[in-house]
Amino acid sequence: DSGVTQTPKHLITATGQRVTLRCSPRSGDLSVYWYQQSLDQGLQFLIQYYNGEERAKGNILERFSAQQFPDLHSELNLSSLELGDSALYFCASSVSGTGFTDTQYFGPGTRLTVL
Amino acid sequence: DAKTTQPPSMDCAEGRAANLPCNHSTISGNEYVYWYRQIHSQGPQYIIHGLKNNETNEMASLIITEDRKSSTLILPHATLRDTAVYYCIGGGGSQGNLIFGKGTKLSVKP
């Protein structure tokens, strides 16, 4: 158990809909990362937040957005969903997120299925 | 961002040591080598990381060559539960994120 929690575990929805994925970091961690894992793309970095502020952006679509709240939990919002958005979404957290020496710990993921 | 090369798959007999190689010839001086593994579709699990010196923890040992262009992850006594995809990551993205390749699928057989 990494200490990172994600809800829900599974989500099934239809094209065009909007969903919200939630992540709670390990106690004491200030940084949250979101990754997407699809069959054809592997694990791809989406976005990082540090202490409530956006710190880095990866291959995140404009239809996707995220935020980190004062209690440090984070939400990833996916809108106008398409079939290709079906994937595993992982959240990771780290103490500071300031560079390569900061170990990231991953949650169990949310499996999103868009029908 | 350092790119890594790993064999796509490896087999190991249960109870034997599993040695997983990784080439990271483009790694820069301040970039760490990280190893994670992913069992089925679970979240990636941190194993170990290192910069220059060899490292050991309760899960594995990491041997980094002196020129830092390659490393080997050693699972000293592999069990069936070690069957997973193992990812070697050389440093991180310019923004501190991890860049995952395709990894090595390790199959531990009885």
Non-local (6+) Cβ contacts of A51 within 8 A are: A30, A31, A68, A72
Which residue of chain B has the CA closest to A103?
B46
* pLDDT surpasses 70 at B2: no
- Phi and psi of B100, rounded to 5°? -90, 135
Provide the pLDDT for residue B1.
Answer: 55
More confident residue, A79 or B2: A79
| Residue B59 three-state SS | coil
At A51, list the tokens.
């202490």
Tell whether A12 is within 8 A of chain B (Cβ): no
What does the mean pLDDT of chain A come to?
Answer: 93
* Of A32, A18, A19, the residue nearest A71 (C-alpha): A32
Find which of B97, B98, B99, B100 to mutate to test the A interface (most A CBs within 10 Å of its CB): B97
At A84, list the tokens.
């290709």
- Phi and psi of A25, rounded to 5°? -75, 170
At B3, list the tokens.
């790119």
Tell whether A24 is within 8 A of chain B (Cβ): no
Long-range pairs, B81-84, Cβ under 8 A, ≥24: B81/B39, B81/B108, B82/B12, B82/B18, B82/B37, B82/B106, B82/B108, B83/B39, B83/B107, B83/B108, B84/B37, B84/B38, B84/B39, B84/B40
* pLDDT surpasses 90 at A42: no
More confident residue, B36 or B94: B36
Provide the pLDDT for residue B99.
Answer: 82
Q: What is the pLDDT of residues A46-98, one digit of tens each?
A: 999 999 999 989 889 999 999 999 999 999 999 999 999 999 999 999 998 76
Q: What is the pLDDT of residues B25-61, one digit of tens each?
A: 888 877 889 999 999 889 999 999 999 889 999 999 9
